[in-house]
Amino acid sequence: MKTTHVQVRWADGLHLRPAARIVAVARQFHSQIRVRFGPQVANATSVLNLLILCASLNATVEIEAHGDDEQAALDAVAHCFELPDPDEG
For residue 28, being part of any structural domain is answered with yes
For residue 85, being part of any structural domain is answered with no
Could you read off the pLDDT of 1-35 as tens digits, one per residue? 999 999 999 999 999 999 999 999 999 999 999 99
Structural domain including 12 reads 2-80
What's the total number of domains in the chain?
1
User: Tell me, what's the pLDDT at 87?
Assistant: 73
The predicted model gives 34-55 an average pLDDT of 98
Instruction: Give the 3-state DSSP-derived string for 50-81, with helices as H, strands as E and coil as C.
Output: HHHCCCCCCCEEEEEEECCCHHHHHHHHHHHC
- Find out whether 20 and 50 touch, Cβ atoms under 8 Å: no
pLDDT band (50, 70, 90) for residue 42: very high
pTM for the model stands at: 0.95
For residue 87, being part of any structural domain is answered with no
Could you read off the pLDDT of 51-89 as tens digits, one per residue? 999 999 999 999 999 999 999 999 999 999 999 987 775
For residue 88, being part of any structural domain is answered with no
Supply the Cα-derived Rg of the chain in whole angstroms.
12
- Find out whether 55 and 27 touch, Cβ atoms under 8 Å: no
User: Tell me, what's the pLDDT at 89?
Assistant: 58
CATH number at residue 14: 3.30.1340.10
For residue 57, being part of any structural domain is answered with yes
Active-site residue set: 15
